[in-house]
Structure 1
């Protein structure tokens, strides 16, 4: 009995210990990126509300060679949402209430943590809430994961002043120190590569970063030229194993381009697949083309992954977090 009390006391102190300022120090959250714990009654999860969650969250991420969902979800009954389970990094919590709504609670049981509380008075309202605000909920979790990854990378950040291209372009970017230099043209093109350490692709797979700039000539043609520009960069800088081989945009797959913002500037996000001309290498790419009107130019960040036989969603997500860390110095 004394042993049980001692264990409970230690657990209480660990969860509720305070720093010198009297602030509660929360335990570290658990869970991987792009994964959400859904707190919902088992009957609802096996019924239409659960079906709707799996439909909305299970939409495929564009630009990947194999089908992979936007987010991976698992479920637990509210009665089991206690103890260490509550320390999950991303939680979608369903509760009964008089009105349908969502709210965000941060760092309640652990840090970092995002809990999206979804309220509804019956199943019909619950289903409608998922249908109408599901995309919004996904973006909340995605943005939290980007910040989470960026914070990790910031602790192991390379000194980018050692790379002339980054210095000459006048940008700041968080690149983790697991990346190694492949090529730096000293003024306008940088290629860095991370060799994957885990999984089936270990030793063969890579994540890659390209950074370069272009003059801003006609803003109305930016989207139409993204594929042509990346193909010309591939021909010039990304060779294959033999002469006549170089990286191009995969001909059989049309990339998807969306308008977004990076560093509070207009930008375009393009997701698609790359391949090596006259070869069998291929994989997904993510391109951010940032409109820098102040300097009359485009800043381009591109990440591409080569990882045969393994899922690539989370690898591309890491590239997304790096690309979204760009800051253009004024």
Structure 2
């Protein structure tokens, strides 16, 4: 993710905007993905409003081996929100006002940037607003992060025409060039990026899988996601010895949600994988897409192996790649 952050700075170094008296240039925004700056008075941050923010934004991301929050938050007093601090990429401004509402503003002080204003008449109203609209606010921040990442991936995408499986599937997908080929049979694609940070250096990796299978009964697709990925794991993803291969971790039930990829019905599944009869394991994210027109199911899966380091941001990157998939 460090490389991703650096690329934000390189690609979005300047942004021209139309002003009333001509053009002006916005500075580059600062900040990591999945991290927001909360602009709120110190007393409120230490009180009920801050407690509610920490509760809502402190919810754990499902499917990860270690507890990691959906978003990381830091706080600054409104009086300190000026100068360089206003260039933060993702900002939540909590304040009292006449109307209870959520307002979104983009690229006000820097680019890319999203500012979300949470306003209510009093402190009790702000607590209730965060409690009731917290998931909506989180989605706004997450969606903006996905869009930011996808813009970068589109700039540095690999030439997908070199892969037999992608050509046969008839899809496009923005995969960064740092992913290298492991296997490409024409029916199954496996790409891998070696991670270069933390204890996982040398051994850690982010992985992408892409394949399809015939659509027989749409109503059974969601129930068969785990079984299908286990079939694929046994066939294509071996362990270090005979009889070892990737399966869905048996002690952890994956979470499946309704989703949409390329305006088509899909399912997002988050869970943990492991290698049968071995000690390797990690998180995965799976997008199972129903392609009715071609009577098939397309599967994108990303999985991470990164021992002893946090994995939320690695899975986030795979999520952004998966959501860029389009059927020609």
- What TM-score, normalized to structure 1? 0.93
1:122 matched to 2:113: no
| Aligned positions, number | 314
State how far apart, in whole Å, the 1-side matches of 2:161 and 2:22 are: 39
The correspondence of residues 3-18 of structure 1 with structure 2, limited to 5 A, is none
Q: Which runs of 5+ in 2 are unaligned?
A: 1-12
Per-residue CA distance 1:16-51 (angstroms, 9 max, x = gap): 9879x9422211100000000000000000001000
Q: Tell me which residue corresponds to 1:269.
A: 268
Contact 2:247–2:274 at 8 Å: present in 1 too? yes
Shift of 1:268: 0.1
Q: Tell me which residue corresponds to 2:188.
A: 189
Shift of 1:94: 1.3
1:251 matched to 2:250: yes
Change (3 A) 1:146 1:242: same
Change (3 A) 1:75 1:322: same
Per-residue CA distance 1:186-229 (angstroms, 9 max, x = gap): x2100000000122211110000000001000011111100000
Q: Tell me which residue corresponds to 1:297.
A: 296
Change (3 A) 1:25 1:59: same
State how far apart, in whole Å, the 1-side matches of 2:246 and 2:34 are: 29
1:224 matched to 2:230: no
Shift of 1:95: 2.1
Change (3 A) 1:279 1:16: closer
1:30 matched to 2:20: no
Cα RMSD between the aligned structures?
Answer: 1.5
Q: Tell me which residue corresponds to 1:9.
A: none
State how far apart, in whole Å, the 1-side matches of 2:114 and 2:17 are: 21
State how far apart, in whole Å, the 1-side matches of 2:17 and 2:234 are: 57
State how far apart, in whole Å, the 2-side matches of 1:128 and 1:176 are: 41
Q: Tell me which residue corresponds to 2:10.
A: none
Structure (1 or 2) with the larger CA radius of gyration: 1
Shift of 1:300: 0.1
Q: Tell me which residue corresponds to 2:6.
A: none
State how far apart, in whole Å, the 1-side matches of 2:278 and 2:37 are: 41
Change (3 A) 1:102 1:214: same
Q: Which runs of 5+ in 1 are unaligned?
A: 1-13
Per-residue CA distance 1:47-97 (angstroms, 9 max, x = gap): 010000000000000000000000000000000000010000000001221
Structure 1 moving runs of 4+ over 6 Å: 14-19
State how far apart, in whole Å, the 2-side matches of 1:308 and 1:144 are: 29
State how far apart, in whole Å, the 2-side matches of 1:104 and 1:64 are: 30
Q: Tell me which residue corresponds to 2:56.
A: 56
Q: Tell me which residue corresponds to 2:306.
A: 307
Q: Tell me which residue corresponds to 2:278.
A: 279
